[in-house]
Amino acid sequence: MAYNLKEVAKRPERFTGGHRMCAGCGAPVVVRQILRAVKPEDHAVIGAATGCLEVSSFLYPFTSWNDSFIHNAFENVAASISGAEAAYQAMNRKGKINGEVKFIAFGGDGGTYDIGLQALSGAMERGHDMVYVCYDNGAYMNTGIQRSSATPKYADTTTSPAGKKIPGKQQSRKDLTEVMANHHIPYVAQTAAIGNMKDLYEKAEKALYTKGPAFLNVLAPCPRGWQYNTPDLMELNKLAVETCYWPLYEVIEGKYIINYKPKNKLPVKEFLKAQGRFKHLFKAGNEYMIDEIQAEVDRRWNALLKLAGEQ
């Protein structure tokens, strides 16, 4: 059945309103859309790493999760969900389970690129039938915008401040989607909530209903950390994709597919200037920073084109 936002939006919410995520935050949009891809008749066991999503969605005694949900700690959501999936396998063999159960782990970039990378790598390598979703907002937003290995170069964060001598983060961001693709698991995709969110929905559906481990890296802008006006969320998602800062692609059984190639690739400057964390890049004399970021975006985009056999 062809994707239709109006139709999927009519499904009962698995992630309900009333949570305390900020207005203009990308994460709840991503979570809701991904959970819409779970078939209505299927049960889901969902985990979240410690982070904004967890502390805003499950404050005792209230929960936003209509499915079963577990939070364990910061670095171990992949391991926790892998354990739940293992219990499912054993209990299923003993005939103790009715119906299909989907296992989904959510982590921010801090809980995924950094402190949770080991547990993620382990769970994916072991081949659990689960989906790991990284909602990447490019810093430790929950603790107050500290730099992570997902933070882009020159971004101003509270632990990589744009100071008088050092102009923000000095390192380029880690390419986690590539790291996960090189785990050679059945399905890896990079996506974002753009337009009618078809790309996000279809990738979530593939990830959920491909047997074995799957990894989704989803851009999730943060109005506090990125410093944009909350209504601009969808515009930022779009700019990230149109500048090829955040290409939409998937790796199915090792085969790279680029899902969207902008007809007119926008300069990365358009993405940067919409965010307060890059404000210092636009001061006179700092043009080299933008040039450098542009060069890195181009280099990675070209490398991706090659991997997909398009160059």
Please tell me whether residue 121 binds another protein under the rule CB under 8 A: yes
Please tell me whether residue 16 binds another protein under the rule CB under 8 A: no
Please tell me whether residue 65 binds another protein under the rule CB under 8 A: yes
* Phi/psi at 272 (5° precision): -70, -40
**According to CB under 8 A, which one of 60, 164, 211, 285 is a site residue for another protein?**
60
User: In the structure encoding, which two tokens stand for residue 130, read together?
Assistant: 């689960």
From residue 113, alpha-carbon distances to 61, 135, 137, 139 in Å are: 30, 11, 11, 10
Count of residues in contact with another protein, rule CB under 8 A: 49
**According to CB under 8 A, which one of 122, 231, 254, 309 is a site residue for another protein?**
122
Residue in the structure block whose two tokens are 């390598």: 125
How far apart are CB 139 and another protein at their closest, in Å?
Answer: 20
Please tell me whether residue 27 binds another protein under the rule CB under 8 A: no
- Helix H, strand E, coil C: the string for 111-163 is HHHHCCHHHHHHHHHHCCCCEEEEEECCCECCCCCECCCCCCCCCCCCCCCEC
Please tell me whether residue 143 binds another protein under the rule CB under 8 A: no
Distance separating alpha carbons of residues 67 and 12, to the nearest angstrom? 11
**According to CB under 8 A, which one of 29, 34, 37, 119 is a site residue for another protein?**
119
Distance separating alpha carbons of residues 96 and 15, to the nearest angstrom? 27
Distance between the two ends of the chain, CA-based, in angstroms? Answer: 32
User: In the structure encoding, which two tokens stand for residue 261, read together?
Assistant: 């190639």
When the beta carbons of 68 and 230 are compared against another protein, the nearer one is 68
When the beta carbons of 34 and 77 are compared against another protein, the nearer one is 77
How far apart are CB 118 and another protein at their closest, in Å?
Answer: 6
Cα four-point dihedral sign 133, 139, 144, 147? positive
**According to CB under 8 A, which one of 1, 61, 211, 264 is a site residue for another protein?**
61
Please tell me whether residue 59 binds another protein under the rule CB under 8 A: yes
When the beta carbons of 63 and 146 are compared against another protein, the nearer one is 63
Question: Which of 255, 246, 261, 262 is closest to 307 using CA atoms?
Answer: 255
When the beta carbons of 3 and 58 are compared against another protein, the nearer one is 58
Interface residues for another protein in 66-105 (CB under 8 A)?
66-73, 75-76, 78-91, 93-94, 96-99, 101
Residues that bind another protein (CB under 8 A): 43, 45, 47, 54-55, 58-61, 63, 65-73, 75-76, 78-91, 93-94, 96-99, 101, 118-119, 121-123, 125-126
